[in-house]
């Protein structure tokens, strides 16, 4: 088991290339089994969530071939084999195997998903959607059992705007008889990406990216080729790192309007942000001021950038309040930032950051993916060396994080943990 050592104080400059979106990739790979012939997906992020999904698809009989950042899934031998806990627990998005297998086979047996521990993450809206399409759903001993005699299109109003439920219902509904309408649907760019691949397979989907999505089910879907959109959260993480430590950093291979809410907040703080066609240039300075931020569904400020941006707010002078309206317990990074000298208090769903204090390197633990990103950014800023454990969380969602940061001039490296350190980590 490794820990990440980050030596702070090095300015960042240069270009960083952004990978394909994790939250698209993890839906597109399960979607591939809906086709009757091979599906090729390009711009694949090389992250552990993707590796686990490849294993899950292989386990159910798909022929999966990887070539660099391209994956080809031949779904012709796939069977509705149960996917119990184990690998399924390693990521959140294994829940997309429910929608995809229900659509394909009218049955599925899948362990409850894992993913970042951000407080309660129910899947009641996914289940409500599957039931509306005609599935019988039960939850026994940590697994969800789904089966349907027939899937029939339905009108489904989501009580909570949910990315996962919207996509999962789309995956099942493309194979249902007749029309499905999802109301109060999520509008994140990854939903449009899923609609695009399903449309390339021959599905008819209208309204993805708005809060009403209409789907005409099809008996057969064909193979296709698809390129994943850039990862707006990875891009946002590098924008925040650049705003924290950058002289001039260009974030390349992105769709800038996916990042408007972050761009606006950075500008409000006094960061110079130049938006180009497929890149953003971030120039920082030492006179940043604190701002208030509220996370919202897209196109609002993404909850997945709430933790990384907290490290930047710790640098900015004055008080900032950051409120997470999506997850009320997404604050496990705060204790660790405090260990590094940050002055942050939590009140309900908000963190109050008294910024402008010096941070010192410390031993800290990443409790989840974006907490890890927050600690790396704090480590870049802090005096001395920060030791970060819990790297498996970071590896779920950031391709080549160290290489990309080293390319910008940061100083960081992995070291193997001693047996004693591993024991301490397990008992903490």
> From the list 196, 244, 303, 307, which residue makes contact with ligand UD1 (rule: CB under 6 A)?
303
Write down the least CB distance from residue 405 to ligand UD1, Å.
21
Of 18, 83, 116, 337, the catalytic one is 116
- Output 110 or 245, the one with its CB closest to ligand UD1: 110
If one asks whether residue 402 binds ligand UD1 (CB under 6 A), the answer comes out as no
> From the list 4, 6, 16, 23, which residue makes contact with ligand UD1 (rule: CB under 6 A)?
23
> From the list 231, 304, 336, 402, which residue makes contact with ligand PEP (rule: CB under 6 A)?
304
Rounded Cα–Cα distance for residues 122 and 253 (Å): 34
| Residue 396 is assigned to a ligand binding site | no
Site string for ligand PEP, 63-102 (x = CB under 6 A): ----------------------------xxx---------
97-116 residues near ligand PEP, rule: CB under 6 A: 115-116
- Output 196 or 284, the one with its CB closest to ligand UD1: 196
Annotation says 116 is catalytic: yes
114-153 residues near ligand PEP, rule: CB under 6 A: 115-116
If one asks whether residue 191 binds ligand PEP (CB under 6 A), the answer comes out as no
Write down the least CB distance from residue 124 to ligand UD1, Å.
5
CA nearest to 2, candidates 369, 413, 401, 400: 413
> From the list 187, 232, 370, 393, which residue makes contact with ligand PEP (rule: CB under 6 A)?
370
Write down the least CB distance from residue 420 to ligand PEP, Å.
30
143-202 residues near ligand UD1, rule: CB under 6 A: 160, 162-165, 186
Answer whether 73's CB lies under 8 Å from 32's CB.
yes
Q: Where does this chain bind ligand PEP (CB under 6 A)?
A: 91-93, 115-116, 304, 369-370, 397
Catalytic residue numbers read: 116
* Residues annotated in a binding site: 22-23, 92, 121-125, 304, 326
């Amino acid at each position: 088991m490794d820990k990440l050592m980050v030596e702070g104080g090095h300015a960042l400059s240069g270009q960083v290339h952004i990978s394909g979106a994790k939250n698209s990739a993890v839906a597109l790979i399960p979607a591939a089994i809906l086709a009757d012939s091979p599906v090729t997906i390009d711009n694949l992020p090389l992250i552990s969530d993707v590796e686990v999904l490849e294993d899950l698809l292989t386990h159910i009989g798909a022929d999966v071939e990887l070539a660099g950042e391209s994956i080809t899934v031949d779904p012709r031998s796939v069977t509705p084999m149960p996917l119990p806990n184990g690998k399924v627990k390693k990521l959140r998005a294994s829940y997309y195997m429910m929608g995809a297998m229900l659509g394909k086979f009218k049955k599925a047996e899948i362990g409850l998903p894992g993913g970042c521990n951000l407080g309660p993450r129910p899947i009641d809206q996914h289940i409500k959607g599957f039931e509306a399409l005609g599935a019988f759903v039960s939850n026994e001993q940590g697994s969800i059992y789904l089966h349907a005699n027939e899937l029939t299109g339905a009108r489904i109003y989501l009580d909570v705007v949910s990315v996962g439920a919207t996509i999962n219902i789309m995956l099942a509904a493309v194979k249902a008889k007749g029309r499905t309408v999802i109301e109060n649907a999520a509008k994140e760019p990854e939903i449009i990406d899923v609609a695009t691949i399903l449309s390339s397979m021959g599905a008819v989907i209208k309204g993805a990216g708005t809060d009403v999505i209409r789907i005409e089910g099809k008996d057969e879907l064909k193979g296709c080729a698809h390129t994943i959109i850039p990862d707006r959260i990875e891009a946002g993480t590098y924008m925040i790192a650049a705003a924290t430590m950058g002289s001039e950093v260009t974030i390349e291979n992105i769709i800038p309007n996916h990042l408007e809410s972050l761009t606006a907040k950075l500008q409000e703080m006094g960061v110079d942000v130049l938006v180009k066609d497929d890149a953003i240039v971030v120039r920082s300075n030492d006179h940043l001021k604190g701002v208030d931020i509220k996370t919202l569904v897209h196109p609002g400020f993404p909850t997945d950038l709430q933790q990384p941006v907290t490290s930047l707010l710790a640098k900015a002078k004055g008080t900032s309040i950051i409120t997470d309206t999506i997850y009320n317990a997404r604050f496990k990074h705060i204790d660790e930032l405090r260990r590094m000298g940050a002055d942050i208090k939590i009140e309900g769903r908000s963190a109050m950051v008294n910024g402008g204090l010096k941070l010192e390197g410390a031993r800290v633990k990443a409790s989840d993916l974006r907490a890890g990103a927050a600690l790396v950014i704090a480590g870049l800023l802090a005096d001395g060396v920060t030791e970060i454990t819990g790297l498996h969380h970071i590896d779920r969602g950031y391709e080549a994080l160290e290489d990309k940061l080293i390319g910008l001039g940061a100083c960081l490296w992995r070291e193997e943990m001693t047996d004693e350190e591993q024991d301490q980590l397990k008992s903490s």
